[in-house]
Amino acid sequence: MGLLTMFTTSDVLQVAATVCATGAALGCLYLVFVGFSVLRFRRGEAAAAPVSVPVSILVPLCGSEPGLAARLRALRDQSYSGATEIICGTLDPNDPAIEVVRQVAAETNDGRLVCHVDPHVAGQNLKVANISNFAKHAKHEMLVLIDSDIVVGDYLAGVVAELQRPGVGAVTCLFYGIRGESLWSRVAAMGVNVHFLPNVIGGLTLGLARPCFGATIALTRDILWRIGGFAAFADQLWDDYAIGDAIRGAGYTVAVAPFAVGHVQTEATARQLAENQVRLGCTIKSIDPLGHAGSVITYPLPLALAALAFGSGGDALALAMVALACRIGVAWCVEHRFAVRPDSYLLIPLRDVASFVSYLASFFVFTVTWRGQRYRLSDQTLIVDSSR
C-alpha cells in the first residue's frame, strides 16, 4: 500500500508538472501575440476632426488625493474649442478634495469648475450615488465621466470625435499605471502596464474583450436616459462595465479611443495592493467566469516555476527564463506604444507572482474592500457586509 501511495503521488506530481509546463509554453506564445497586438493597436489611424459641441466633464471625488489639483488643471486646460464645464461632486461635506477644487477654480474664476456636495446615498455603490447626485447639475448634452485619479493629456477632442462616429453610443479609454513612491505602488503600476493593459488589447484583437472603463466614459444624456440613468447601476461593483454592457444592449457600440490615459496608483501597503488586486479579479470572474478561468495561461512565469517545483527540472527552468523574457518584451511594447515611463524590470518576477496569487485567491473570495467599505458579492450586485 505504501509503494502504491508513493507511485500515485509521484504520478500526480508528474502530471501537475506537465500541465503547468504546457500552460507556461502556451502563455509564452500568448505574450508574443499580445506584444505585437500592443504595437499595432490603432497605429497610424488618421485622427477624426470633432464637431465642437458643448461638454460637461463629471469628476467624482472621495478623500484626499495627491496631485488632484494638477489633474483638474489638465482637464480645464484642454485645447478643445467647444464650451466645457467641469463638475465635481462628493458625498462628504468635510471632504478635503473640496478645498482643492475651490483653489483650482479660483485661478481662473470663470465658473467652469465647480464642486457640489450632497450626502444622499441611493444604492450600495457610493461612487454611482455620488455621480447621480451631482450629474443633475450638468448643463450640456454630452457627458464625459472620468475618475479623479486619472491623468490626461490634451484628449477631449479625440474623445468627442470618437463619440460622433456613426453607431457609437459611448467612448472609453485604455489606461496605464502611474507609479507613486512606495514599492507597492510601483508593483501595482507594473501590474497594469504588463498584465492588465496588454491583456485588454489582446482581447480586443481577438474580439473577446468588451471594455468600458471608469478612466473615461463619454456618452450623451439621451443615451444615459435610454439605459436607465445612473440609478440602474446603483448596486453594481463593476458599474463602468455594466454601463458599457447596457449601451451595447441598446444597440450601440462602445468605442475604445486610440490613446491611453494614466491611472495614478496610490497603494502604500501590501494589504492595499492585495485588496485591490483581488477585487479586480473578483470583478472579472463575475463578468466572465470561463474567460477568467482560461486566463491562467496569461501567467507563464508562475506556471513554469510551479512546474519546476513539481519536479520538471531543467526544462522548466529554461521555460521560466523564456517566460520572463516574453514578459519583459510585453513591458517594452507598452512603453513604446503609449509612452509609458519605464520601471525596473527587476520587479517583473515579483509582479508576476503577486498577480498569480491574486488570481488564485479570486476563486475563493466572496467579499471585497472598496474605498474602505467591505461588500459581499451576490448575484452580480453589492451588499454591504455588516459583519465588520
Q: Which of 82-96, 159-173, 175-189, 249-263 has the lowest mean pLDDT?
A: 175-189
Answer whether 210's CB lies under 8 Å from 134's CB: no
Rama region for 371: left / alpha / beta (φ>0; ψ in -120 to 50; rest): left
Answer whether 156's CB lies under 8 Å from 56's CB: no
**277-307 residue pLDDT tens:** 888 887 788 778 888 888 999 999 999 999 9
Name every residue whose Cβ is closer than 8 Å to that of residue 248 and which is 6 or more positions away in sequence: 169, 210, 254
Q: How far apart are CA 341 and CA 336, in angstroms?
A: 9
**241-255 residue pLDDT tens:** 999 999 999 999 999
| Per-residue confidence band for 1, with pLDDT thresholds at 50, 70 and 90 | very low
**Predicted local distance difference test score (pLDDT) of residue 282:** 79
Q: Which of 232, 214, 230, 235 shows the shortest CA–CA distance to 384?
A: 235
| Range list of H helices, the chain | 2-40, 68-76, 97-108, 126-135, 156-163, 183-191, 197-206, 221-226, 239-249, 270-287, 289-294, 300-309, 314-338, 348-361
Q: How far apart are CA 359 and CA 352, in angstroms?
A: 10
Q: How far apart are CA 372 and CA 137, in angstroms?
A: 28
Q: Which of 25-39, 66-80, 366-380 has the lowest mean pLDDT?
A: 366-380
**2-20 residue pLDDT tens:** 444 555 777 777 888 889 9
| Per-residue confidence band for 263, with pLDDT thresholds at 50, 70 and 90 | very high
| Per-residue confidence band for 257, with pLDDT thresholds at 50, 70 and 90 | very high
Architecture of domain 55-267: Alpha-Beta Complex (3.90)
**Predicted local distance difference test score (pLDDT) of residue 377:** 64
**Predicted local distance difference test score (pLDDT) of residue 3:** 45
Q: How far apart are CA 196 and CA 280, in angstroms?
A: 10
Q: What are the start and end residues of each CATH 3.90.550.10 domain in the chain?
A: 55-267
Q: Which of 43-47, 49-53, 296-300, 330-334 has the lowest mean pLDDT?
A: 43-47
**Predicted local distance difference test score (pLDDT) of residue 370:** 64
| Per-residue confidence band for 314, with pLDDT thresholds at 50, 70 and 90 | confident
Q: How far apart are CA 149 and CA 263, in angstroms?
A: 6
Q: What is the mean pLDDT of the chain?
A: 88
Average pLDDT over residues 84-111: 94
**Predicted local distance difference test score (pLDDT) of residue 7:** 55
Angle at 267 between CA 271 and CA 301, to 5 degrees: 75
Q: Please state whether beta strands 373-378 and 367-370 pair in parallel, antiparallel, or not at all (unpaired).
A: antiparallel
Q: Which of 251-260, 265-274, 276-285, 353-362 has the lowest mean pLDDT?
A: 276-285
> Is it the case that residue 382 has pLDDT exceeding 60?
no
Q: Which of 295, 364, 363, 306 shows the shortest CA–CA distance to 15?
A: 306
Instruction: Name the CA radius of gyration of the chain, rounded.
Output: 22
**Predicted local distance difference test score (pLDDT) of residue 43:** 82
> Is it the case that residue 203 has pLDDT exceeding 50?
yes
Q: What is the 3-state secondary structure (H, E, C) of 313-336?
A: CHHHHHHHHHHHHHHHHHHHHHHH
Q: How far apart are CA 24 and CA 78, in angstroms?
A: 45
CB atoms closer than 10 angstroms to residue 296: 17
Q: What is the pTM of this model?
A: 0.88
Q: pLDDT higher for 180 or 41?
A: 41
| Per-residue confidence band for 386, with pLDDT thresholds at 50, 70 and 90 | very low
**End-to-end CA distance of the chain, in Å?**
49
Q: pLDDT higher for 268 or 160?
A: 160
Q: Which of 174-183, 196-205, 297-306, 374-383 has the lowest mean pLDDT?
A: 374-383
